Structure 1
Amino acid sequence: MNSPELQNVPLFAFATAMEFSKVFPEDSSKAESQNQLIPLSGPFQGCFACILGVGILDFSAGLASLLFNCKQTNFKISAVISLGICGAYPDRGLSLLDVVNVSSDRVGDLGCEEQDGSHTLWDKSILGGNCCQAPAVIQKMLVALPQVVGATVNCCTGTATTAVERVKNMGCDVESMEGAACFAICQKFNIPAFQIRAVSNIASTRDKSQWKIEEALEKLHKCICG
Structure 2
Amino acid sequence: MPAAAPAPAPRVLVATAVPVERDAVAQAFPGPADELPLPGATLLRLGRRDLIAAGVGPALAAASTATALTAAALAGTPYDLVVSAGIAGGFAPGAPVGSLVVADEITAADLGAETGDGFLPVTELGFGTTAHHPPESLVRAIAAATGAAVGAALTVSTVTGTAARAAALRARHPRALTEAMEGFGVAEAAAAHGVPVLELRAVSNPVGPRDRAAWRIGDALAALTEAFGKLAPVLESWSPHEPAES
Residue 128 (structure 2) pairs with residue 126 (structure 1):
no
SS of alignment partner, residue 58 of structure 1: helix
The aligned amino acid for 1:39 is R
Q: State how many pairs are aligned.
A: 211
- 1:188 maps to 192
Task: Answer whether contact 1:23 1:218 (CA < 8 A) is retained.
Answer: no
CA RMSD of aligned residues (A): 2.6
Give the superposition deviation at 1:213: 0.8
- 2:105 maps to 104
The aligned amino acid for 1:208 is R
TM-score by length of 1: 0.83
**Which of 169, 172, 180 is residue 169 of structure 1 equivalent to?**
172
SS of alignment partner, residue 42 of structure 2: coil
Q: Distance in 2 between matches of 1:46 and 1:76?
A: 11
- 2:70 maps to 68
Q: Distance in 2 between matches of 1:37 and 1:69?
A: 11
Q: Distance in 2 between matches of 1:151 and 1:200?
A: 15
- 1:11 maps to 13
Give the superposition deviation at 1:46: 3.0
**Which of 54, 57, 64 is residue 56 of structure 2 equivalent to?**
54
Task: Answer whether contact 2:178 2:201 (CA < 8 A) is retained.
Answer: no
Task: Answer whether contact 1:7 1:77 (CA < 8 A) is retained.
Answer: no
The aligned amino acid for 2:157 is N
1:159-207 deviations in whole A, cap 9, x for unaligned? 0000000111122221110111122221111111111110000011111
Residue 89 (structure 2) pairs with residue 80 (structure 1):
no
Give the superposition deviation at 1:22: 2.2
Task: Answer whether contact 2:83 2:200 (CA < 8 A) is retained.
Answer: yes
Alignment map for 1:202-217 (pairs within 5 Å): 202-217=206-221
- 1:3 maps to none
The aligned amino acid for 1:213 is I
Residue 32 (structure 2) pairs with residue 35 (structure 1):
no
**Which of 217, 222, 245 is residue 218 of structure 1 equivalent to?**
222
Q: Distance in 1 between matches of 2:84 and 2:36?
A: 16
Give the superposition deviation at 1:142: 4.1
Task: Answer whether contact 2:13 2:50 (CA < 8 A) is retained.
Answer: yes
Give the superposition deviation at 1:35: 2.4
SS of alignment partner, residue 215 of structure 1: helix
TM-score by length of 2: 0.77
Task: Answer whether contact 2:35 2:42 (CA < 8 A) is retained.
Answer: no
Identity fraction in percent: 24
Task: Answer whether contact 1:131 1:142 (CA < 8 A) is retained.
Answer: no
Give the superposition deviation at 1:23: 2.6
Give the superposition deviation at 1:208: 0.8
- 2:4 maps to none
The aligned amino acid for 1:121 is P
SS of alignment partner, residue 12 of structure 1: strand
In structure 2, runs of 5+ residues without a counterpart are 1-7, 124-129, 231-246
The aligned amino acid for 2:165 is T
